[in-house]
Chains A and B, each alone.
Chain A
Amino acid sequence: MRRVIPIGPYHPLQEEPEFFKLIVEGEKVVELEINIGYNHRGHEFLSPKMTYEQIAYLVERICGICSNSHPLAFVQAVEDAANIKVPERALYIRTINHELERIHSHFLWLGLAGHFIGYNTVWMWAWKYREPILDIFEMVTGNRNHYAMNKIGGVRWDIKDEQIPIIENILLEVEKATWMFTKAILDDPVILARLRDVGVLPKEVAIDYGVVGPTARASGVNIDVRRDDPHAAYDRIEWDVIVFEEGDVLAKAKVRLFECLESIKIIRQCLRKMPKGEIETKVDEIPMGEGIGRAEAPRGEVFHYVRTSGMNHPIRHKIRAPSYMNIASNAYACVGYSIADAALTLAAVDPCYCCTERIFVYADDKKIMGYEDILKLSWELTEKLKRKYNKI
């Protein structure tokens, strides 16, 4: 007998409003219907009513995690339409930013994936090491998220010489952590048993649905915008595209883990090879025309199409985020597995989450409480509770 199990639109675990209607026979999912649109904000409607300068900020707010990819794709679309040449140094800075974003996004996913399968330790460790990456962003751009780095013709902030050793030290620490996660996950028989052969998306189905990013690369579809259509400084750097053939949740996790290591490799080369010079070209006028900008966001290809009018605003701006293609593929990947697997498969395409929580206590511009102090507070509280309940 068929029954319906609804997940969402407002789900206590997944913070994003999406509605998944699981049609089940017993424990097995036989069909999946997906409804989206609960959080439609009309960016494509808003964009033609704004100036090019403003749109860069608007598209940044599409997603809190991909907040470098959307502006990057947008400015590249306008640069394509108006044939603007970007200075070399700006291209390297764009690359560095883009890869830092990939690391922090993949760590965020890893933490959530750990949380979903009941490994809260993975979650805490992954998010602990995500922090230093956000610290780099704060140091370079002034913001932990929504960096406002990209502008038409270049970037807004330069990376100073004295910041480079700090970034390299943080990368060393993060690299160690990435290896630790990779080994811990690939050595753990329970995690392997839970993730292997779950939610398999075969290659031909992946091509049919047009999925992108790690979801495609875990199914053996060898595509990566950074290599195929090089933007920023990716064609000046040596790195590899990570592809696995299996298509299950484990392969998706492996793609993301190894990609973090590649990202670290890219950033290191960029920091060394980055030439001195200007970081932006002056843009006078954007002529009538059309342009396509694409960037490989952590979740896959971000696509922006801009039709310019000759005035200071576009007449049409099409935005395609990677999850638009990836979420649809769940309708295939969930079918045939149990209900418990469905939650994992749905999360494995890494639907976007926005999270910017942290605690630091500041007084008179001086940090008076940091990570160690908070840890100490937590221990003290535990001791207090122990004493309290021992009395009873």
Chain B
Amino acid sequence: MKDLLTEIKNRFKEIEVYEHNKRRLYLKIGKERIREIAHFLHKEKGLRLSIMTGVDTREGIEILYHFSDDKTGTYYTIRIITERDDPKVDTISDITKASEWIEREIWELLGVEFVGHKNLKPLLTSEDWPRDKHPLRRDYEGI
């Protein structure tokens, strides 16, 4: 487990690591490197993308990529922050299919556009839902 963390640190020098406990690691990185780190973790190291979480915070919209290392039971959560106005993040749906649905979900509920996603259409909300209303944003007041 420690080896993988050291490898990540060597490869992505600017990464900020927060170790909540030995099986729950939070790693913060710039959003421009997300494809690179997702490719490294999923394709090279065989980690499974469990799910992604979008959070609307004061600094901007945070997206957490929860990668599960099933050999050691460790969660590597990659944290990126994107701006609140017209947020755009590169898709990783061509790296792992597991992110296809959740990127659609974050797009409709938080309004983050995933650049390069081939099928960015509503997953949960109905077809006539106004596309400028995002229920998980803090300033959402209903439709």
Docked pose: A59 CA to B77 CA in angstroms: 23
Segment from B32-40, B48-56, B81-89 that makes contact with A: B48-56
Docked pose: A291 CA to B66 CA in angstroms: 12
Q: Is the interface of A mostly helix, strand, loop or mixed?
A: mixed
Asked if B8 lies at the interface with its beta carbon under 8 angstroms from chain A, I say no
Q: Is A303 a contact of B51 with CB atoms below 8 Å?
A: yes
Chain A residues, Cβ within 8 Å of B77: 292
Docked pose: A315 CA to B54 CA in angstroms: 12
Asked if A307 lies at the interface with its beta carbon under 8 angstroms from chain B, I say yes
> Which of B53, B75, B122 is the most central at the interface, judged by chain A CB atoms within 10 Å of its CB?
B53
A77 to chain B, nearest CB (A): 10
- From residue 15 to 41 of chain B, which have CB atoms closer than 8 A to chain A? 20-21, 23-24, 26
Asked if A36 lies at the interface with its beta carbon under 8 angstroms from chain B, I say yes
Docked pose: A228 CA to B48 CA in angstroms: 13
For B112-143 the 0/1 string (1 means CB < 8 A from A) is 00000000001111100000000110000000
For B60-104 the 0/1 string (1 means CB < 8 A from A) is 000010101011111101000000000000000000111011000
**Which listed residue, A42, A208, A292, touches B135 by the CB 8 Å rule?**
A42
B130 to chain A, nearest CB (A): 16
**Which listed residue, A289, A316, A325, A328, touches B53 by the CB 8 Å rule?**
A316
Docked pose: A291 CA to B11 CA in angstroms: 26
For A290-322 the 0/1 string (1 means CB < 8 A from B) is 111010000001010101000000011010100
Asked if A230 lies at the interface with its beta carbon under 8 angstroms from chain B, I say yes
Q: Is A210 a contact of B75 with CB atoms below 8 Å?
A: no
Known: A44-B136, A228-B70, A307-B55. A210 touches B124 (CB 8 A): no
- A-B contacts, CB under 8 A, total: 75
Chain A residues, Cβ within 8 Å of B50: 210, 301, 303, 320
Asked if A40 lies at the interface with its beta carbon under 8 angstroms from chain B, I say yes
Chain B residues, Cβ within 8 Å of A277: none
A339 to chain B, nearest CB (A): 24
Q: Is B53 a contact of A305 with CB atoms below 8 Å?
A: yes
Docked pose: A229 CA to B22 CA in angstroms: 11
**Which listed residue, A37, A209, A291, A316, touches B124 by the CB 8 Å rule?**
A37
For A28-60 the 0/1 string (1 means CB < 8 A from B) is 000000001100101011000000000000000
Chain B residues, Cβ within 8 Å of A301: 50, 68
Question: Which A-chain residue is minimally distant from B119 (CB atoms)?
Answer: A33
Q: Is A45 a contact of B136 with CB atoms below 8 Å?
A: yes
**Which listed residue, B24, B51, B123, touches A318 by the CB 8 Å rule?**
B51
Docked pose: A40 CA to B135 CA in angstroms: 13
A110 to chain B, nearest CB (A): 27
Docked pose: A219 CA to B97 CA in angstroms: 17
Chain B residues, Cβ within 8 Å of A80: 20-21, 24
Asked if A207 lies at the interface with its beta carbon under 8 angstroms from chain B, I say yes
A33 to chain B, nearest CB (A): 10
Docked pose: A292 CA to B97 CA in angstroms: 22
Chain A residues, Cβ within 8 Å of B21: 80
Chain B residues, Cβ within 8 Å of A210: 48-50, 96-98
Question: Which B-chain residue is minimally distant from A319 (CB atoms)?
Answer: B51
B51 to chain A, nearest CB (A): 4
Q: Is A305 a contact of B64 with CB atoms below 8 Å?
A: yes
> Which of A42, A44, A290 is the most central at the interface, judged by chain B CB atoms within 10 Å of its CB?
A290
Q: Is A328 a contact of B75 with CB atoms below 8 Å?
A: no
Known: A318-B51, A328-B100, A328-B101. A292 touches B124 (CB 8 A): no
Asked if A113 lies at the interface with its beta carbon under 8 angstroms from chain B, I say no
A160 to chain B, nearest CB (A): 33
Docked pose: A37 CA to B101 CA in angstroms: 11
For A257-297 the 0/1 string (1 means CB < 8 A from B) is 00000000000000000000000000000000111101000
Question: Which B-chain residue is minimally distant from A289 (CB atoms)?
Answer: B20
- From residue 323 to 346 of chain A, which have CB atoms closer than 8 A to chain B? 324-325, 328
**Which listed residue, B46, B53, B64, B98, touches A209 by the CB 8 Å rule?**
B98
B63 to chain A, nearest CB (A): 11
Q: Is B75 a contact of A292 with CB atoms below 8 Å?
A: yes
Asked if A201 lies at the interface with its beta carbon under 8 angstroms from chain B, I say no
New A-B contacts (15) at CB < 8 Å, excluding given A40-B124, A303-B51, A303-B66 = A36-B124, A37-B122, A40-B125, A80-B24, A208-B98, A209-B97, A223-B48, A229-B23, A230-B73, A292-B24, A301-B68, A305-B64, A318-B53, A328-B97, A328-B100
Of the A-B pairs whose beta carbons lie under 8 Å apart in the complex, a sample of 6, sorted by A's number, is A37-B122, A40-B125, A45-B135, A228-B71, A291-B24, A324-B51
Complex A-B, nearest 5 residue pairs according to Cβ-Cβ distance, in ascending order: A229-B73, A210-B98, A37-B124, A318-B53, A320-B51
